């Protein structure tokens, strides 16, 4: 459900005053017709009704006024209730896809006046928002929450699969046995995870103030993924094809789900074919794990050794020759590389 109105989008989120009032009407089974804003066109198609002076908007007042048959008109900022029990007479030649009288009137009124109109069904308590030619059905918070919680479980499963793939990638990189396919599977899983998290985040915004905890969960499940993808791409892509990892990420983001799910197609986009060829990392991700090593030194080290296998075997004396690396740091690097070679199962997840 995309709420696309000329009013503040937040006014129809769960917990907001306008939404509370509309929900009250639906819960009481009274039915209602609410026009947000006013105009000369609206005046021309309106008749009867009660003019309300200095009537502050409250959800309870909106619900009480809905007991009368006519429409309610509220100010554009939903601070005042302007009229109640208004009879609307829109042009009946305006096409409508609705069947109920109230909903047909709402759609035609919105189309003719360019104002948002909310219709609440008396029989089914269904809430629809009409704005020009768009129709939005408002869902109950518990329905949205159920759907979001299911999606969070999917993100959690996808995150575990991504972390497993990254851990395997780290081991194979040190063994110098990583294939293009295994590299591409990490990128594929990371992009799918990022897309799903984005979709669930958008869905969660419909919960209004109730979305806070869910947003924290999404952020936690997505933590470190973007940095990992950036470093993996930087390690394995040809600089002549992609000047920066971001260029590659932009191309990946353009892929349809069908294209993304094809490792062969992804390999074509990233110039990583054949799939069974060995993909040799440059060493950026390994260097990023070492605390207090400045980024500019990452570039200097990679430029000297060109690949991770050569870097892992670099003697302390040669590391010391690189500008910016003193004896202590050279020895720190050598000890770090020795640890990696002894412990191939070293973890590279959690953002690197």
What does each of the 352 residues of the chain score in pLDDT, given as a tens digit?
Answer: 444 444 555 788 888 999 999 999 999 988 999 999 999 999 999 999 999 999 999 999 999 999 998 999 999 999 999 999 999 999 999 999 898 899 999 999 999 999 999 999 998 889 999 987 889 899 888 899 999 999 999 999 999 999 999 999 999 999 999 999 999 999 999 999 999 999 999 999 989 888 999 999 999 999 999 999 999 999 999 988 898 999 999 999 999 999 999 999 999 999 999 999 999 999 999 999 998 899 899 999 999 999 999 999 999 999 999 999 999 999 999 999 999 998 874 444 433 3
* Nearest partner of 214 among 151, 291, 305, judged by Cα: 151
Full set of structural domains in the chain with CATH: 9-138 (3.40.1700.10), 139-352 (1.20.1260.110)
CA distance 207 to 22: 15
| 3-state helix vs strand vs coil in the chain, percent to 5 | 55, 10, 35
Contact status, residue 17 vs residue 11, Cβ threshold 8 Å: yes
Rounded Cα distance, 129 and 15, in Å: 17
Could you tell me if 340 and 326 are in contact, meaning their C-beta atoms sit under 8 angstroms apart?
Answer: no
Identify the burial level of 2 via C-beta atoms within 10 angstroms of its C-beta, where 0-12 means exposed, 13-18 middle and 19 or more buried. Answer: exposed
Place of tokens 């009288």: 101
Other CB atoms closer than 10 Å to residue 93's CB: what's the count?
Answer: 6
Torsion on CA atoms 12, 13, 14, 18, rounded to nearest 10: -30
* Diameter of the chain measured on Cα atoms: 93
Distance of alpha carbon 106 from alpha carbon 33, whole angstroms:
7
Residue (of 215, 242, 248) closest to 229 by Cα position? 248
Nearest in space to 205 (alpha carbons), one of 153, 154, 139, 254: 139
So what's the pLDDT on residue 1?
A: 40
Three-state secondary structure call for residue 180: helix
What are the beta bridge partners of residue 134? 131
pLDDT of residue 351: 39
pLDDT score for 181? 98
Pick from 14, 328, 333: nearest CA to 144: 14
pLDDT of res. 7: 53
What pLDDT score was predicted for residue 240? 86
Cα-Cα-Cα-Cα torsion 117, 123, 126, 132, nearest 10 degrees, comes to -30
Task: Please give the pLDDT value at position 350.
Answer: 37
Provide the whole-model pTM.
Answer: 0.79
Instruction: Give the per-residue pLDDT at 125.
Output: 87
């Amino acid at each position: 459900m995309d709420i696309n109105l000329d009013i503040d989008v937040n006014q129809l989120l769960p917990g907001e005053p306008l939404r509370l009032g509309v929900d009250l009407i639906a819960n009481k089974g009274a039915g209602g017709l609410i026009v947000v804003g006013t105009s000369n066109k609206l005046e021309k198609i309106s008749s009867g009704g009660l003019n309300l002076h200095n009537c502050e908007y409250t959800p309870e007042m909106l619900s009480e006024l809905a007991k009368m048959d006519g429409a309610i008109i509220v100010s554009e900022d939903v601070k005042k209730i302007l009229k109640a029990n208004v009879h609307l007479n829109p042009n009946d030649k305006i096409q409508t896809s609705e069947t109920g009288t109230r909903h047909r009137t709402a759609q035609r009124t919105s189309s003719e006046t360019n104002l948002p109109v909310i219709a609440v069904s008396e029989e089914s308590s269904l809430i629809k928002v009409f704005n020009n030619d768009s129709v939005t059905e408002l869902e109950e918070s518990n329905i949205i929450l159920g759907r979001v919680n299911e999606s969070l479980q999917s993100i959690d499963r996808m995150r575990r699969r991504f972390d497993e793939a990254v851990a395997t990638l780290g081991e194979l990189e040190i063994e110098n046995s990583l294939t293009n396919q295994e590299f591409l599977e990490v990128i594929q899983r990371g992009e799918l995870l990022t897309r799903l998290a984005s979709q669930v985040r958008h869905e969660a915004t419909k919960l209004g103030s109730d979305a806070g905890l869910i947003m924290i969960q999404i952020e936690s499940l997505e933590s470190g993924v973007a940095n990992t993808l950036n470093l993996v791409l930087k390690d394995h892509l040809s600089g002549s094809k992609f000047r920066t990892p971001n260029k590659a990420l932009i191309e990946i983001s353009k892929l349809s789900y069908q294209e993304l799910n094809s490792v062969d197609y992804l390999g074509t986009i990233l110039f990583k074919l054949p799939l069974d060829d060995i993909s040799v990392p440059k060493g950026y991700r390994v260097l990023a794990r070492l605390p207090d090593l400045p980024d500019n030194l990452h570039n200097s080290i990679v430029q000297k050794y060109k690949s991770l296998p050569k870097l892992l075997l670099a003697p302390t004396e040669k590391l010391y020759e690189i500008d910016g690396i003193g004896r202590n740091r050279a020895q720190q690097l050598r000890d770090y590389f020795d640890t990696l070679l002894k412990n191939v199962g070293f973890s590279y997840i959690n953002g690197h």
